[in-house]
Amino acid sequence: MAKPIVAIVGRPNVGKSTIFNRIVGERVAIVEDKPGITRDRIFANAEWLDKQFSVIDTGGIEISEDEITQSIKAQAELAIEEADVIIFMVDVKSGITPSDSEVANLLFRSKKPVVLAVNKVDNLERENEIYEFYSLGFGDPFPISGSHGLGIGDLLDKVVDSFPDQDEKEYEEDVIKVSLIGRPNVGKSSMVNAILGEKRVIVSNQAGTTRDAIDTPFEKDGQKYVFIDTAGMRKRGKVYETTEKYSVMRAMRAIERSDVVLIVINAEEGIIEQDKHIAGYADEAGKAAILLVNKWDAVEKSDKTLQEFTTKIREQFQFMSYAPILFVSAKTQQRLHKLMPMVDFVADQHALRIPTHALNDVISDAVAMNQPPIDKGKRLRINYATQVSIKPPKFVLFVNDPALMHFSYKRYIENRIRASFNFEGTPIQIFLRRKSQDD
């Protein structure tokens, strides 16, 4: 089930980014801790009252160098288009400004749920100043303070209460849901058409033809699938590409609904930084993945070209070393016959469950071969391991002290599990718990 999207909208300097960080519970505009992924974050996942959702900070969207009012208006329009609920932020110290009024008019006409947040209400005296904001027409204003963290809980209560009913189409358990993600014009729609053998999706050389996620059910050799084609993700930074942050959110919805994600790379253009960012979204979501190098027919080749390209991919996508690579051409259908068997395989790996006794045998052998290092006179002990879920496979290790687990030793354990049970095409997740008397 795709998460609802909450957008934070308002003029500059009302504290949008501070509230964004408060809601998601961490400073997210920081580099990832995985090799190969570095990116700024203007959106992140959050949870409140057991409800999960995604949050967008529109202040992080660079619209243009033109008038500020035009920038605010463009951000509001984008939020209206993509968000399920909008947090409209104003500043109690400034009162209602002309920019606030213009954004309010846009939001009011949108018919989207809007929650009005009055920021910088740091004391009781300021709280008495919120009443003028009733004139904006969005009901009760919520007094908050981003700097002190006041009122955020009440604000989020109203936000999650405003979520629309989820009416997404549900598919049978045995249907494999596959999404295609990648930069614009890498050939995702052409890929769907080539696999289906007919033109079911509009194909155009103009980047960004596919505006929304499109579900295409089909059946092959008795197996049912649904292809979810998404709007292409553009590289940020150009004025005409500013909607990209929102198309990424749209694609995130598709990724969350998927079992297998096909990350499509343009062989003609080679690997660029944006390809790694896009792949990172699938990895973070814990989905099975295949790196699909399209337009391979258009590349001039020697006997070393394929191996050199493979090496480059492995260097650039270190965080997805588990993902198989397939070089294809939607135009000529080169190697395309290998794709669906590979989709079946990685979907099986994604749903693989390991017997507890077999898992613990592998862990015991791994520890016997390579003892955990000693830290401050104490050595990590792994007492027991169990798999707690699938899609992706998640494992819990019961240990004497989780703080003693060095990241390099955790990676060693993961590699031993992969070597023993394969898990090709799927991330696996390992969690640590301190062993207690009850365990």
61 in a labelled binding site: yes
Q: Known binder of ligand: residue 11? A: yes
> 259 labelled as ligand-binding?
no
22 annotated as a binding-site residue: no
Q: Which residues contact 340 (CB under 8 A, 6 or more apart)?
A: 195, 220, 221, 223, 225
- Name the token pair of 369: 């071969």
* Measured torsion, CA atoms of residues 251, 320, 30, 208, in degrees rounded to the nearest 10: -30
55 marked as binding residue: no
435 is in an annotated binding site: no
Q: Is residue 344 annotated as involved in ligand binding?
A: no
**Annotated binding-site residue? 60:** yes
- The answer to whether 36 is a known ligand-binding residue is no
Is 394 among the annotated ligand-binding positions?
Answer: no
Q: Is 58 within any annotated ligand binding site?
A: yes
Q: CA–CA separation, 193 vs 331, rounded Å?
A: 10
Instruction: Determine if residue 229 is labeled as part of a ligand binding site.
Output: yes
Please state, as a whole number, how many other Cβ atoms lie within 10 Å of the Cβ of residue 232.
Answer: 24
Annotated binding residue 12: yes
Is 120 among the annotated ligand-binding positions? yes
Cβ–Cβ under 8 Å, residues 384 and 395: no
233 annotated ligand binder: yes
Question: Is 187 within any annotated ligand binding site?
Answer: yes
Check the annotation: does 304 bind a ligand.
Answer: no
Is 338 annotated for ligand binding? no
Q: Is 128 annotated as a binding residue?
A: no
State the DSSP code for 145.
B
Distance, CA of 22 to chain centre:
19
119 assigned binding-site residue: yes
Annotated binding residue at 383?
A: no
**DSSP character at residue 150:** B
Q: Is 15 annotated as a binding residue?
A: yes
Q: Is 186 annotated as a binding residue?
A: yes
Q: Whose CA is closest to 141, among 161, 158, 125, 160?
A: 158
57 is in an annotated binding site: yes
User: DSSP letter string over 33-73?
Assistant: SSTT-----SEEEEEETTEEEEEEEGGG----SS-HHHHHH
Look at residue 155 and give its three-state secondary structure. helix
Which amino acid is present at 245? K
Is 232 labeled as ligand-binding? yes
Q: How far is Cα 120 from Cα 50, in angstroms, rounded to an integer?
A: 27
- Provide CB contacts within 8 A for 286, sequence distance 6+: 391, 392, 427, 429
38 annotated as a binding-site residue: no
Closest CA to 180 of 330, 24, 384, 349: 330
294 is in an annotated binding site: yes
Q: Which residue has the tokens 């008397």?
A: 437
Q: Is 139 marked within a binding site?
A: no
Does 182 count as an annotated binding residue?
yes
**Left (φ > 0), alpha (ψ -120 to 50) or beta: where does 25 sit?**
left
Beta-bridged to residue 385, according to DSSP, are 397
Cα dihedral 406, 410, 28, 250, rounded to 10, equals: 180
122 is in an annotated binding site: yes
Tokens linked to 365: 């052998």
Binding-site annotation, residues for GTP: 10-17, 57-61, 119-122, 182-189, 229-233, 294-297
Binding-site annotation, residues: 10-17, 57-61, 119-122, 182-189, 229-233, 294-297
